[in-house]
Structure 1
Amino acid sequence: MADITHGTWIKDGKAVDAVYQSDVKVYGRNLLKDTAGDSSPIMVTASGGSISGDTTVSTVDGVTKAIQTTGNGEFFYRFMAPVVDNLYGLIPGGTYSFSGQLVSSDGSVSIAMRSQDSTSSSGFSDLPKVILPASTDFQTFSIKFTVPSNATGFYFSIQEYNFSAGDSFSFKQLKLEAGDQTAFSIAPEDILN
């Protein structure tokens, strides 16, 4: 019998990848870890997230906040490092959903989801960006993407453009899952370990 712990399905002490009810997916395993609110989320198979050199990050009560300190360079939070030969457990040709809640400190600035893939050791190329409307309140987002079938490396990030020193964005309740989006759940690794 499966047990639901913090929205995560556990059976015989192991995480369940998906649960269907009347042929409708009602649960999908969260592939990000550190989603219980103690630290910034990262990919399960990654060594850690990364930020630009002019950004600071903190996590308090399940909300991760990135602050641009100088207004120079790029302003992003990456969930894995951009390595041309690392897919971080994602499958070429696989479709995934990335969802959560985002907010920017500057209501006139949009936050973009940036995905890139690499099909050779020469570098990365952009996939289409998804721009969220500017808002001063947390807004729910859901992005569905497919890893290119010939990809050798893949990463994605939350990235803000047209920023100034002191600008910030915050995110919470992030979930990366295979297939279609289901309700937020804590990563099984955050419960079982």
Structure 2
Amino acid sequence: MADITHGTWIKDGKAVDAVYQSGVKVYGRNLLSNTTGQWMPTMATTPYHEISGHASGQSVDGVTTITRDNTEGGEFYYRFMPPSTTSLYGLVPGETYNFSGKISSSNSSVTIDMRAQNSTSSNGFSDLPKVIFPASTDFQMFSIKFTVPSNATGFYFSIQEYNFSAGDSFSFKQLKLETGDQTAFSIAPEDILN
């Protein structure tokens, strides 16, 4: 029998990847971990994240806030895994994923995007199409689909803010990465089972 704990399906002590009712997907396993507590969210297969230079981050009660200390360096992002030309972090080439959650920014005049890059060799990364949306000082829902290229050997994705100023911050919560279509937020089974 499957148990439902914090919206996460577990059967016989193991994570359930998806649940369908009448042919409709109603649950998808969250492939991110640390999405509800004091730790920074990452892919469940790695404990490591990456924040752009001169930025700091913290996670409190499931809300992660990244603050930009100055404008040097040109980029302001939170990556859920470090870029690697040889690791897919458990993602499957050719598979389509949905990344969803809630995000806000201290500066409503900036733009925020979900940026994903893949590598097909040790020579660097190529961008997948970016999904850019205007920032809001209130939490707003987002949902983005992307497909890992079938020839990918490395992959990473991030939330990135553009046209930022020193002191800007962005926050996110209730993040979920799952295969296929979006379902309601649930925490990663790893956060319950470990």
TM-score class normalised by the smaller sequence:
over 0.9
- Is contact 2:38-2:59 (8 Å) kept? yes
TM-score under structure 1 length normalisation = 0.98
State the shift of 1:9 in Å.
0.5
The answer for the alignment partner of 2:182 in structure 1 is: 181
Matches within 5 A, 1:1-193: 1-73=1-73, 74-193=75-194
- What residue identity is the alignment partner of 1:65? T
State the shift of 1:141 in Å.
0.3
- Is contact 1:42-1:79 (8 Å) kept? yes
The count of corresponding residues between Structure 1 and Structure 2 is 193
Unmatched runs of 5 consecutive residues or more in structure 1: none
Work out the CA distance in 2 between the residues paired with 1:186 and 1:180: 16
- Is contact 2:18-2:28 (8 Å) kept? yes
- Is contact 1:104-1:110 (8 Å) kept? no
Point out the more displaced range, 39-48 or 157-166: 39-48
- Is contact 1:33-1:190 (8 Å) kept? yes
The CA deviation string for residues 145-184 of structure 1, in whole angstroms up to 9 with x for no partner, is 0000111100000011111100000000000001111000
TM-score under structure 2 length normalisation = 0.97
State the shift of 1:189 in Å.
0.5
Work out the CA distance in 2 between the residues paired with 1:134 and 1:190: 29
Unmatched runs of 5 consecutive residues or more in structure 2: none
- Is contact 1:103-1:170 (8 Å) kept? yes
Over aligned residues, Cα RMSD in angstroms?
A: 0.8
Work out the CA distance in 1 between the residues paired with 2:144 and 2:27: 17
